[in-house]
Amino acid sequence: MSKRILLLASGTGSLAQAILSAHQKGEIDAEFVGLVSDKDSPALEVARSFGVPEFYIPMRSPREEWDREIFQRVQSLAPDLIVSVGFMRILASDFVSTFKVINTHPSLLPLFPGAHAVRDALAAGASVTGTTVHWVDAGLDTGPVISQQSIAILTGEDEESLHERIKIAERALIVETLAAYAESGSL
């Protein structure tokens, strides 16, 4: 039976695009049950272009209402795995304890967690960084590592060029990780 995968995205949808393109080419043998976004983002159009149901659930106050709404939507879709691909919200602890959620991050965790990982790696004078696929837990980028890809930081490299190189590796790594998951049923 094919694994059911749900994507969470807040931005341009470049990771979702890579995943859904790989699926379309037969590289990921899974069923994509939807894409949820907290913003009216280009990621929703990416999902639509691949015929994947998209769900816009804007952040609201109090936060607990949004937490309940996203929990109920995800529960109704019954995914085997949720993949956070540029979803810029911290998920509630009951969400991550109920559902299997993985995330991509632009550093070699546990180094440089948080929203400014690329900038932080450069500021620290690191010579190597990379990308990580990890389990999401109640902490900030603290879940167990599933897979990583290293990238050398070039002399004089700026944040934008480094981040673009990391994104290329990140797209390849998440596709490889999901292909392996779809084939074996585990991570």
pLDDT at position 136:
97
User: What are the two backbone dihedrals, phi and then psi, of residue 132, each rounded to the nearest 5 degrees?
Assistant: -130, 140
Per-position DSSP letters for 58-97, written without gaps between them: ---SSHHHHHHHHHHHHHHH--SEEEESS--SPPPHHHHH
pLDDT at position 52:
98
The model's pTM: 0.95
Whether 20 shows a pLDDT value over 90: the answer reads: yes
Tell me the CA distances in angstroms from 10 to 22, 41, 86, 182, one per residue in order. 20, 6, 6, 24
Whether 88 shows a pLDDT value over 90: the answer reads: no
Whether 182 shows a pLDDT value over 90: the answer reads: yes
pLDDT at position 29:
96
Whether 104 shows a pLDDT value over 90: the answer reads: yes
pLDDT at position 81:
98
List, for residues 116-158, the tens digit of each pLDDT value.
999 999 999 999 999 999 999 999 999 999 999 999 999 999 9
Cα–Cα–Cα angle for 47, 105, 154, rounded to 5 degrees: 115
List, for residues 26-78, the tens digit of each pLDDT value.
999 999 999 999 999 999 999 999 999 999 999 999 999 999 999 999 999 99
The catalytic site residues sit at: 105
CA-nearest of 13, 178, 10 to 80 is 178
Whether 80 shows a pLDDT value over 90: the answer reads: yes
Report the alpha-carbon distance of residue 156 to residue 172 in Å, rounded: 25
Report the alpha-carbon distance of residue 5 to residue 55 in Å, rounded: 14
Instruction: Name the band, by pLDDT with cuts 50, 70 and 90, for residue 10.
Output: very high
pLDDT at position 1:
78
All domains of the chain in start order, with CATH:
3-184 (3.40.50.170)
Q: Find out whether 74 and 82 touch, Cβ atoms under 8 Å.
A: yes
